[in-house]
Structure 1
C-alpha cells in the first residue's frame, strides 16, 4: 500500500565523470530528501534520465533507495517503454527487486489512440500487484489521458493516482469531482505547485525538490495546514528556480542547482551535455540570485493539518 500524498521528488540519477552510477552522491541526495520530510522517492523519470538507464542500473537504484529509506517512505519507479511487452517486463522486474509502486507514462514514440493507451495501462496494471500512478503529460508526450479514459482505468484497483501535468490546474478539480478519493491527484508542474495544492491536489511530484527539498516540503506542509501566506512567501522566492523545471534542459538545469546546494553534480549522460555559453550563464544567474536570499524556513514539520 502507498499513501498517495505529499511531496515525491522525481530524483535525478547521479553519474561519475566516467559515466558510471555515482552512488555516493546519490546517497547524499536521497538522505537530504528524507531529512527534509519527503513522502516518497520516484526513480527513473524524465529527470532521472530514464531513457539512458540500463536494466541493471535501474535495479541498483531501486535496491540502493530501499536501503536508504529503511521502509519509512515508498520507492516508486517510472515505466516509460516503447512496447507493452517491455513495459510489463520492467514492471514485473521492479516488483521482484522490491519497488513499492510504479509511475507509468503512455507508450513512447508512438501517438497511441485513446483505446490503445488505455489497453497499454491496463495490461501493465494487470501484470503486477504494485500500486500505480498514471502520468498525464500531453504537453511533453503528446497523449492526453482524459477523464473518460481514467474512468475506464478504474476497473484496475491498483491504479490509484494520477500525476496531472496538463498545465490546466482546473483539471485537478475535474478529477477530484469525478473520482473523489478513489483517484489521488498529484501536480507534476513545479510552477503550479502551490496553486494546485490549494485547490485540492493530494501531492506534488516535484523537480526542483532535488536541489531544494526542505523548501518544497515546507510549501506543501504549510498549505495543508492552512498557512497559505507563509507558504506563498517561500513560493515567491522559489518561482525563478521552479521555472527551470519547464525546459527541455530541465535535467541540466536542476543538476546545476544540486551543485549549488551541495547535493549533486553536473554530470549528465550523453546525448545530454552540461549547459554551455549564454544559457549556462543565465541559469547560473538564476541559481546564484536565489542562493543569495534563500529564506529561513519556519518549523514546518508536524504542523497541524487543521487550518
Structure 2
C-alpha cells in the first residue's frame, strides 16, 4: 500500500509542564501538511513514544487523526516488545480514526526470526488496519531479516515496511521478492535517494519537519528522470539531515523547529535539550541552508 512518498515521523509537542501541548500539535500537523508531508506517523521514536503513557498515545492518535481530517493518512505507532500489549493498544487505536499502524521490531528481549514473524503476524491478525513494519536494529538490538520481511508481506494487511537498517542489499532483496502492492520506505533520511534507485517508494522522515518540500522535490525529480537535479538537492540538504541526528533524536529536531517558530517545546527525560554550543552549531547549519535556498 502506498501512503505517499514523504511521510513524517512526527515529534510530540510538550508544554512547559511536560504535558502534551495539543494546540502546538494542531499547528505542527498543519505545518507538516503545508510543507511536503503526505502522511504522518504518530508516537514513533521521534514522537518520544517510550515516554508516552497508553492514555497519552490514544489521545494523540485521536487528536492528530481529527486534525488531519482525511488530508493525509495517519499511522499510529502501536508496536512494542510485548505482543499482547501491542494487540491491546492496536485494537484501542482502531477506534481513534487513524488510517494504519506502524509496528517496531521488539526491543530488549531479542526474539528469533520466527519469534519476530509470529509477533507481527499476531498483531496484524488482531486488526483490520493496514500495517507498516518498522525495522530499526540500531534501536531494537535485533533486526528483521529480508527473508522474514518477505514472509510477513504475505500476511494480507501487512502492506509496507519502514526499513532503517541502512542495508541497501536487504532493501533490494525485499523489493525484488515482494509483490508490487507491498511498499518499502527507507527510515534513513540520507539514504532516500539510494533507496529510490533500487526501487523504494520514499521515506518515513525526521528531517521532513524542516525540509519536507526539498525532499518532495528531490524524489519527484528522481522519479521524473531528472537524476542530476535529484542528486544536487540531496547534496544541498544532506547537512540538515545529518544535523538532525548530531545529538540523540529528537532533541536537535525540536530545537530546530522552535528556532523556526514552529513551537514544540522540550524533550522528556531521559532525552535532554541541546547545550549552548550544540544549539549554536545547529543554528549555523540552518542559517547556511536558508542562505543557499533563498
Q: TM-score, normalised by structure 1?
A: 0.89
Match of 2:227 in 1: 228
**Contact 2:207–2:244 (Cα < 8 Å) also in 1:** yes
Q: Deviations over 1:220-259 (max 9, x none)?
A: 2222222222223322221111013445612001111212
CA contact (8 A) 2:211 2:237 kept: no
CA distance in 1, matches of 2:282, 2:82: 36
Cα distance change of structure 1 residues 112 and 252 upon mapping to structure 2, 3 Å threshold: same
Tell me whether 1:198 sits opposite 2:197 in the alignment: yes
Alignment match, 1:81:
80
Shift of 1:283: 2.8
Larger mean Cα displacement after TM superposition, 175-184 or 159-168: 175-184
Task: Give the root-mean-square deviation of aligned CA atoms.
Answer: 1.8
CA distance in 2, matches of 1:103, 1:71: 18
Alignment-derived partner of residue 151 in structure 1: 150
Deviation track 1:69-99 (CA, whole Å, cap 9, x = no partner) reads 2212211011232311111011111112221
The structural deviation recorded for 1:277 is 4.3
What are the within-5 Å matches in structure 2 for residues 239-258 of structure 1? Answer: 239-247=238-246, 249-258=248-257
Please list every run of at least 4 consecutive aligned residues from structure 1 whose deviation after the TM superposition is greater than 3 angstroms: 245-248, 277-281
Q: Once the 2 structures are TM-superposed, how far is the Cα of residue 127 of structure 1 from its aligned partner? A: 0.5
Distance between the aligned counterparts of 1:186 and 1:208, measured in 2? 15
2: CA distance, partners of 1:245 / 1:201 = 22
Query: Aligned runs of 1:1-307 on 2, under 5 Å?
Result: 3-247=2-246, 249-293=248-292, 295=293
Change over 3 Å in CA distance of 1:84–1:53 after alignment to 2:
same
Q: Distance in 2 between matches of 1:68 and 1:242?
A: 27
Structure 1: gaps (5+ residues): 297-307
Deviation at residue 109 of structure 1 after TM alignment: 1.9
Q: TM-score, normalised by structure 2?
A: 0.93
Q: Is the 8 Å Cα contact of residues 133 and 160 (structure 1) preserved in structure 2?
A: yes
Higher mean Cα deviation, 219-228 or 182-191? 219-228
Displacement of 1:121: 0.5
Distance apart, 1:159 and its partner CA: 0.5
Inter-CA distance 102–248: structure 2 relative to 1 (3 Å threshold): farther
Cα distance in 1 between the residues matched to 2:197 and 2:258? 31
In the alignment, structure 2 segments of 5+ residues that lack a partner are: none
Write out per-residue CA displacement over residues 39-92 of structure 1, whole angstroms, 9 at most, x where no aligned residue.
211000110000111222222222222222221221101123231111101111
State which drifts further: 58-67 or 185-194. 58-67
| CA apart distance, 1:266 | 4.3
Aligned counterparts of 1:230 and 1:33: Cα–Cα separation in 2: 24
